[in-house]
Structure formats: structure tokens, C-alpha cells
Chain A
Amino acid sequence: QSALTQPASVSGSPGQSIIISCTGTSNDVGGYPYVSWYQQHPGKAPKLIIYDVSKRPSGVSNRFSGSKSAYTASLTISGLQAEDEADYHCSSYTSSNTWVFGGGTKLTVL
């Protein structure tokens, strides 16, 4: 149950787009369409922003989008806003019938 691999940090300027990657193996990201992304502001509980690789829960901005290719899932945030500054976590279902998270990525809006 090794954690998925995410970059420790990414940054972008307001209005730009950024991509956060989440790399796993054939036993998790590559093997199942069950990748989710969570946004977490400091001291707060995580919030689901993408599920099933690319679906958005009701109320989540369409500036957030998800995709997957082979063993890597990606979260794209377009039109960056100051309020997007937060930690982002990916998760995937695994072949062991468990779930695994990535290490988290800190997004800084410059």
C-alpha cells in the first residue's frame, strides 16, 4: 500500500492554469476508474472536488477538471484564483480492496 506520488508543491499566477499529477501503479490508478481529488485549506477538513477520475460534485467550480492516462491521474485548475491556494490530495481504489492517498500537493497562487 505505497502512497501515490504527487509533487510536493506547484505554483501559478492568477488567471493561469496549473496541473497536479498523481502517479500510481497498475494496482491502483492504472487499474480502476476510481480516482478522487480533494482540496484542503489550512485547519479545515478536506473537500471532494473530483471523483471517478473526472466527475465534479454538484457545486464545484468547472475550473476544476480531472483526467487519467495509464498510471497517472491529473487535476487541472484553470483561471487560478487566490482562493484556490490550498493543499490538494489524490486518492485511488486499489487491488487490495483498500484506498490509497497521495502525499499531497501545496498550491501557491503567486
Chain B
Amino acid sequence: QVQLVESGGGLVKPGGSLRLSCAASGFTFSDYFMSWIRQAPGKGLEWISYIGSSGTTIHYADSVKGRFTISRDNAKNSLFLQMNRLRAEDTAVYFCARDPPGQLADYWGLGTLVTVSS
């Protein structure tokens, strides 16, 4: 069965950095686009980035462009999100998700909480 497990969240000061990881299993990871989606406390979902199956296609939401970098390691079935210059408004639960062709997020991880606070 498809499993996505995020890790790397925690408390970080404004301006700091954090690297999230997502370990995938139960499907051929290298066949799928992957997305990061976040949810601030008590708020709706916000798509922030996706990466193509080979890693050459990448897009970001304007809110994170220039600060966040998505990447993947198909040999290790892993997805990453490098987050730099973090702001208080980046505080959220970060989910990784699998994207079938032409779709967004058919399977989700349980999420990892990132808190940006001094």
C-alpha cells in the first residue's frame, strides 16, 4: 500500500532554515510527480511546490518562490523540501503528496509540523 512519511519538522527562528524529507513506499516512486502542500493552524490547504518524476520539472507558489527548494532522490524513494529565510507565516503542517498524471495529491502523508517563532 502507498505510504508517505514526512520528517524534519520542528521549531526554528525567523530567518532560519529547515529541510523536510518524505519517505515513499508501496509504489514506483520514480513514475510520479510529487507535491508539497501545507496547512497553517486553523486554515485551509496551500499547494507550495511540485516536482516532476525525473526532477527536471519544478514549480513553486509565489509565497515560497526563491526561499524554498524542492528536490528528490529516486534511488532512495525520497522527496525533500529545503526551506530558507523562514517567516512566521510559514508555520504550518507540511504534507507530501503523490501526484498521478494530470492530478494533484491522490495520496498524502500524515504531515510534519513546522513552527517559526522567536
> What is the number of residues of chain A that contact chain B, defined by CB distance less than 8 Å?
24
Q: 0/1 per residue, B49-76, Cβ < 8 Å to A?
A: 0100000000111110000000000000
**Which residue on chain B has the smallest CB distance to residue A57?**
B106
Inter-chain CA distance A95–B104, complex, in Å, is 15
Known: A45-B95, A45-B108. A52 touches B103 (CB 8 A): yes
Distance from B112 Cβ to chain A, minimum over Cβ atoms (Å): 11
Instruction: Contact check, A45 vs B46: say whether CB atoms are below 8 A apart.
Output: no
B60: which A residues are within 8 A, CB to CB? 98
Instruction: Contact check, A46 vs B106: say whether CB atoms are below 8 A apart.
Output: no
Distance from B4 Cβ to chain A, minimum over Cβ atoms (Å): 9
Instruction: Contact check, A51 vs B109: say whether CB atoms are below 8 A apart.
Output: no
**Which residue on chain A has the smallest CB distance to residue B104?**
A99
Instruction: Contact check, A38 vs B110: say whether CB atoms are below 8 A apart.
Output: no
Number of A-B residue pairs with CB-CB distance less than 8 Å in the complex they form: 61
Q: Of B45, B106, B109, which one neighbours A101 at CB under 8 angstroms?
A: B45
A103: which B residues are within 8 A, CB to CB? 43-44
Q: Which 8 A-B pairs have the closest CB atoms?
A: A104-B44, A99-B47, A45-B108, A101-B45, A103-B44, A99-B104, A48-B106, A89-B45
Given contacts A36-B104, A91-B104, A104-B45, 19 further A-B contacts (CB under 8 A): A1-B63, A3-B44, A36-B103, A38-B45, A38-B105, A45-B95, A45-B111, A46-B95, A48-B106, A48-B107, A89-B45, A91-B45, A91-B105, A98-B59, A98-B61, A99-B35, A102-B44, A103-B44, A104-B43
